[in-house]
Amino acid sequence: MNFIESIGSVVTTTYKHSVGVLSLLCDTLLWLVTGPFKRKFPKREGISEQMVFAGIQSFIIVFFVAFFTGIVIAMQSAYQLNKFGATIYVAAMVSVSMARELGPVLTALVVAGRVGAAITAELGSMKVSEQIEALETMALNPVRFLVVPRFLALIVMLPCLTVLSDIIGVLGGYLVGVYNLGLNPSRYIDFSFNFMMWKDVSTGLIKSFTFGVIISIIGCYMGLNTKGGAEGVGRSTTVSVVTSFVLIILFDCILTGVFYFSNM
């Protein structure tokens, strides 16, 4: 294959997958809207099972990531702010950057690695062992039965995890601020929350909601389109995680741009 041909094949497969992902997204949204009227909404147990897996069981790892990130930002910003004698602004630095940027993005990356990979591996092995086809033969739509519960679980639980990670990040910063920089604890808390505006939190939550959509839809799409046995499951899991990571950063950039230029 020559150079031009390989560019061409990359473009056509990217186009094909983009169309596939978008149509899966539309299908999922359609089931969410029409499902309750057709009495074909996924069972509550199915959704709560996914929420426990995606949300509650991800908490520990999100806790550690957010906690250490809070500590790191506090130390890094103290290193700079010390020069101006403005170490109290460490508090604002940590809280605002956690809420606007690091909370949503790092939580999404951790969840993409943990939950997105698990979704693709599970649906992928269901696909290669004919379980997806068996569902269809039983008149159970795989989108309604498998994708909708995972989609709902992630768009609800990822913002929840993000709020928790914001708080934990502030806690990590607090430890550095109070025990290392010797700042007054109540002043530190005041500074943290006076500088963190509602719009900082809300833009962060809009981001994490978008990331939830990305992780669940990419994870399910790659799983449902797995081909070629155990090797295929491995391949689509890798592609799923890598694609989610890239799209999370890409949409983070786009959304930050939108918020920046619209002064949010």
C-alpha dist (Å) from residue 126 to 123, 137, 146, 177: 5, 14, 11, 50
Q: Smaller CB distance to another protein: residue 100 or 150?
A: 150
Choice between 132 and 168, CB closer to another protein: 132
Residue closer to another protein by CB (options 28, 208) is: 28
Residues that bind another protein in the complex, under the rule CB under 8 A: 43, 122, 126, 129-131, 133-134, 136-141, 145
Rounded least distance, CB 30 to another protein, Å: 11
Q: Which is nearer to another protein, 145 or 174 (CB)?
A: 145
To another protein, the closest distance from the beta carbon of 245 in angstroms equals 26
CB within 8 Å of 102: residues ≥ 6 apart: 66, 69, 73, 169
For another protein, give the closer residue by CB, 133 or 190.
133
C-beta of 151: minimal distance to another protein in Å?
A: 18
Minimum CB–partner distance for residue 137 and another protein (Å): 5
Work out how close the CB of 126 gets to another protein at its nearest, in angstroms, rounded to a whole number: 8
Least distance to another protein, CB of residue 190, Å: 49
- Residue whose CB is less far from another protein, 118 or 176: 118
